[in-house]
Amino acid sequence: MSRANDRASALRLVPVSRETEERLGIYVDLLSRWRRVTNLISEPSFAEVWTRHIADSAQLLDLVPHARRWIDLGTGAGFPGMVLAILLADGAGAVVHLVESDQRKCAFLREVARETGAAARIHAARIESIDPETLMPVDAVTARALAPLPVLLDLAKVWLAHGAVGVFPRGKSVDAQLRDRPGPADLTFATVASKIDPSAGILIVRSRESAQH
């Protein structure tokens, strides 16, 4: 698929405003340049960056439409956090905290935030070293391809306990992940099919206390 067709396909799946599309285009251009000097994204993956990464990330926003304050754990090249921060660039009170320990990736993320005006704050640190209180309140916590489900839930538990919704793309094995490793009793789980690949699932996690309100 050509880059233009990939872009058009992605924007049909997850439509955005003209201004947001321009910002996402800047992001992709920067990604194209930076990936030659640092390990951001593989060549096969970049060939379909708009559908596999931009649209796949952007779809998460509609799953928690009220969320304005996000945290993306282990954000890497910015998926899904930087995409969400670009979509929320003009939102009042919006901020997406991007937590990434790799300094070179953080340098890339800072340039993207400057060039696009994304509602992003970059935290160059390991997830375990972040003081959760400094980032609260958080409406939603996300991560993509970060860790096995039990580890991910442990990393996110403090924000989930304070009412944040967990929005975690988990691929085609999401049902098996839940069946083989059931989550803590104080959490509720639901799955939503991905718009990009209906065979892949997105896990929605809430604390039981917040789910009852």
- DSSP symbol at 213: -
Per-residue pLDDT band for 182 (boundaries 50, 70, 90) equals low
Q: Are 96 and 119 in contact (CB under 8 A)?
A: yes
Return all residues near 183 (Cβ < 8 A) that are at least 6 apart.
Answer: 149, 150, 153, 189, 205
Per-residue pLDDT band for 2 (boundaries 50, 70, 90) equals confident
The domains of the chain are located at 3-211
Residues 82-134 pLDDT 10s: 999 999 999 999 999 999 999 999 999 999 999 999 999 999 999 999 999 89
The CATH number of the structural domain formed by 3-211 is: 3.40.50.150
Residue 32 CA from chain centroid, whole number: 19
Tokens of 173: 């094995």
Residues 23-73 pLDDT 10s: 999 999 999 999 887 888 888 888 899 999 999 999 999 999 999 999 999
